[in-house]
Structure 1
Amino acid sequence: MATAPIEPPRRLVRAIGDDPASPARAWLDTLPDRVAERLAAWELTPERVHEPGGRASLLVLVTQRDGTPAALKFPLPEQPGAEAEAAALTRWDGWGAVRLLRADPDNGALLLERLRSSVSLRSLPEAKALLEAAGTVRRLWVSPPEQHPFETLAARTEAAVAALRAGAATVPSAAPLVDEATELRRALPADAPEEVLLHGAFRQGKVLAGHRTPWLAVGPRPVIGERAYDLVGLVLDRMEDLAAGTGAAAAARRRVAKLADSLDVDRDRLRGWVLVGAVEGGLRALAAGDRPRGELLLEFGTWL
């Protein structure tokens, strides 16, 4: 019996927009056919589309031929690193991360083990969430294979510096902070103490409850670099809670120190990467029209 066509979730549709000339829109329009082709080729029975889902991929909950549940992921083709995501998941082989079951390099489709997608570390109290996050990310820091498709943090330097400079022109009041972030973004990769495989987008919301183990990372944007870089998202997580309390600046610095010490990372280098991440995120948010978040991220940078 033929199954009904897959309907992409509204969040994904809104994120892509309705520009008919956009490659992303063309991909979205052909997505139901792409999903149907993979379902047939891999003998999968669809259950439902994961809602609300992400803004850069479609996730369909499926059942394999042997009855094992799984998740079928289709990332936007213009998103960097679909090949790199598959390579990283293969390298980790389920150690600290969701297990990759199959991959189709032609269209980027990934068949993943099924996790409890509605339960992330953000459901835990902050102290417990940070503890579990630290234990999870530690498992991901492994040496890359000899032949790999991963970029390095150093290779991204010029593009990152150019973006900071462009953003600085739109926020003159933040010029000193942006200047410091720009200097750090150049200096940190140049004298990195190590080069390991990083998740690249690690934060509490990227760690989901599993079945074979309590917590597993998903959605990597893998890159080769130093471990401190992978902790930026954890430091910035729930920053609204820090801002709402007393002594926000001191609390932010304590969070940096606690994470650095618990994972044997240099405090000053982590502080530097967090400042860079806060400024980059703040400028992006302001450019996208999210003024409250943008201003809070820039303020977070001044706390450090």
Structure 2
Amino acid sequence: MSNADDRFAPPERLVRALGSEPADEAAREWLASLPERVRDVAERWELTPERVHQPGGRSSVVVLVHRADGTGAVLKLEKPGGDVALEQAALAHWNGLGAVRVLRAEPEAGALLLERLRPGVSLRSLAEQKAVLEATATLQRLWVRPAEDHPFTTVADHTARLADALRKRSEEPWAADVRAVVDEALELRAALTADSGEAPSLLHGDYQQGKVLAGDRAPWLAVGPRPLVGERAYDLAWLALDRVDTLMASPGAAAIVRRRVAKLADALDVDNDRLRGWVLFRAAEAGVRELASGGRARGELLLEFAGLL
């Protein structure tokens, strides 16, 4: 492999993330071939690569590039089995309103060319109060009606799969201490998906402060959606878990947790009880998943957060 290829080797964060999953020959081959894939797409799309963005994500590699006309852009290559087509469809539907624009796409190759934002400057660089204000303003722009023939999974179907996995993990001996929280999370999820009481919106699906980057066309734009269709409270729930480590270390964490949920519900006009339910479910599901994969510290933190609700 050439030195030029070595410059586009996968970031350590991506290697660790894929390495923590069950053995997957396709993922290993993809990681090994990434430099060649970057070079191939760059040549076909007339791009001049600069560097791989660090630390990057856990399921894709992001390369800062220049187009033939000299403008900056971002080349994103997704791991095998990724949902590039769905990401492209969501970004195309938003058409730059609150989200990054797609300049070119080749879903079968897992490739997206996106407008250049400031990859190192997310809402997490702001003070908490200002970050939440900007995050809620941006999220509100994303909540639009989906197209009639949209390809997106519903919140009910997506969380049904999460709930099945959560239920199985909670039956393991190591999960005995968290079963009460898990049981409540599963009951809440069943009640919440029975009837949302609102028209479904297109949702980001993985909305958090780190997924909102500074831009030139607009101050802040969302990236990296895992789009779903459903009620808005589900999309807002993950935002309530932002900076969870700092929050849980604060005196009076229980009151702060409940106040945060209430403020987010009020800011975006969603039902407080429904938001609380989705926050609890998402925290419990993510917490148990972390414990199952060896992420004990974060898993316990998320489950403690869920328990305070």
> For the superposition of Structure 1 and Structure 2, which TM-score range results when normalised by the shorter chain?
over 0.9
What is the TM-score with the length of structure 2 in the denominator? Answer: 0.94
Q: 1:220 to 1:285 in 2, by over 3 A?
A: same
Distance 1:40 1:107 in 2: 14
How much does 1:78 deviate? 2.2
Q: In the alignment, what sits opposite 2:181?
A: 177
Distance 2:142 2:44 in 1: 31
How much does 1:175 deviate? 1.5
How much does 1:158 deviate? 3.0
Distance 1:21 1:160 in 2: 21
Q: 1:64-83 alignment to 2 at 5 Å? A: 64-79=67-82, 81-83=83-85
Distance 2:209 2:159 in 1: 26
Q: In the alignment, what sits opposite 1:165?
A: 167
Distance 1:160 1:16 in 2: 20
The question of 1:46 aligning with 2:13 is answered: no
Distance 1:232 1:114 in 2: 28
The question of 1:222 aligning with 2:227 is answered: yes
Partner of 1:53, secondary structure, is: coil
How much does 1:303 deviate? 1.0
- Runs (5+) with no aligned partner, structure 2: none
The question of 1:135 aligning with 2:137 is answered: yes
Q: 1:1-304 alignment to 2 at 5 Å? A: 4-5=4-5, 6-17=8-19, 22-79=25-82, 81-170=83-172, 171-192=175-196, 193-304=198-309
> What amino acid is aligned across from residue 86 of structure 1 in structure 2?
Q
How much does 1:59 deviate? 0.7
Work out the number of aligned pairs and report it. Answer: 302
> What amino acid is aligned across from residue 195 of structure 2 in structure 1?
D
Contact 1:45 1:64 in 2 (8 A): yes
Distance 1:173 1:15 in 2: 27
Contact 1:160 1:185 in 2 (8 A): no
Identical counterparts, % of pairs = 59
> What amino acid is aligned across from residue 105 of structure 1 in structure 2?
P
Contact 2:166 2:289 in 1 (8 A): no
> What amino acid is aligned across from residue 297 of structure 1 in structure 2?
L
What is the TM-score with the length of structure 1 in the denominator? Answer: 0.95
Distance 2:258 2:30 in 1: 43
> What amino acid is aligned across from residue 12 of structure 2 in structure 1?
R
Residues 40-84 of structure 1 show CA distances to partners (whole Å, capped at 9, x for unaligned) of 1111111111112112101110000111100000011223x2110
Distance 2:161 2:130 in 1: 36
